[in-house]
């Protein structure tokens, strides 16, 4: 991220503006849609980032392309970014904003890595246990990685709970390598 602190400030400002207006969910959904369009349309990104294009032209294009589908608060926010020459942070702000909205809604993301797909019942048990530990609704981001051999590795914020066979074998290997044999 170019400048997470600056992006964070703008994302917090958008959250503080959209929440009292009752448009937080709509802004989050619309912002995600804008980011999807930008990811699929490199020309739009180049146009918005171009210093040769006047800010008013950029505002008109944003309104024409996204206007009917955006919350007015969000369109005003994008115009503010243009006015302050911060439009290049649009994607970064969107990422931070999505995280802040999840926190505001009591959601937490947990990245779960397993060797094979978890059966639905184990996935539900894991989600419930993590919800119990965090006190929040847990959204699982699942990844299959055969290299873990077995078990599960959960990343929850800045905490990692690694119960994979691979990690346990690595620990055992290190312990055996440093062990002194008496005889």
The domain locations on the chain are 4-103, 107-178
For domain 107-178, give the fold: Glutaredoxin (3.40.30)
- pLDDT band at residue 68 under the 50/70/90 scheme: confident
Indicate the helix (H) or strand (E) that contains 45: helix 42-49
Contact call for residues 50 and 43 (beta carbons, < 8 A): no
Burial grade of 80 (CB within 10 A; 0-12, 13-18, 19 or more): middle
User: Looking at per-residue confidence, does 10 or 1 come out higher?
Assistant: 10
Over the stretch 152-163, which tens digit does the pLDDT of each residue have? Answer: 999 998 899 999
Which pTM does this prediction carry?
0.73
Q: Which fold has domain 4-103?
A: Peroxidase; domain 1 (1.10.520)
pLDDT in tens, 105-135: 999 999 999 999 999 999 999 999 999 999 9
What's the average model confidence in pLDDT over 52-70?
A: 92
């Amino acid at each position: 991220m170019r400048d997470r602190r600056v992006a964070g400030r703008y994302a917090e400002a958008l959250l503080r503006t959209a929440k009292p207006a009752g448009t937080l969910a709509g802004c989050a959904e619309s912002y995600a849609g804008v980011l999807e369009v930008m990811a699929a349309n490199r020309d739009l990104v180049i146009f918005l980032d171009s210093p040769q294009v006047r800010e008013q032209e950029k505002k008109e294009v944003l309104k024409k392309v996204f206007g009917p589908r955006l919350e007015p608060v969000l369109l005003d926010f994008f115009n503010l970014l243009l006015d302050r020459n911060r439009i290049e942070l649009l994607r970064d702000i969107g990422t931070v904003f999505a995280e802040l909205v999840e926190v505001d809604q009591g959601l937490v993301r947990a990245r779960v890595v397993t060797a094979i797909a978890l059966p639905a019942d184990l996935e539900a048990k894991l989600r419930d246990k993590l919800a119990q530990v965090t006190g929040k609704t847990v959204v699982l981001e699942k990844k299959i990685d055969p290299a873990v051999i077995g078990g599960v590795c959960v990343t929850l914020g800045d905490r990692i709970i690694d119960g994979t066979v691979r990690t346990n074998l690595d620990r055992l290997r290190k312990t055996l390598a440093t062990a002194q044999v008496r005889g």
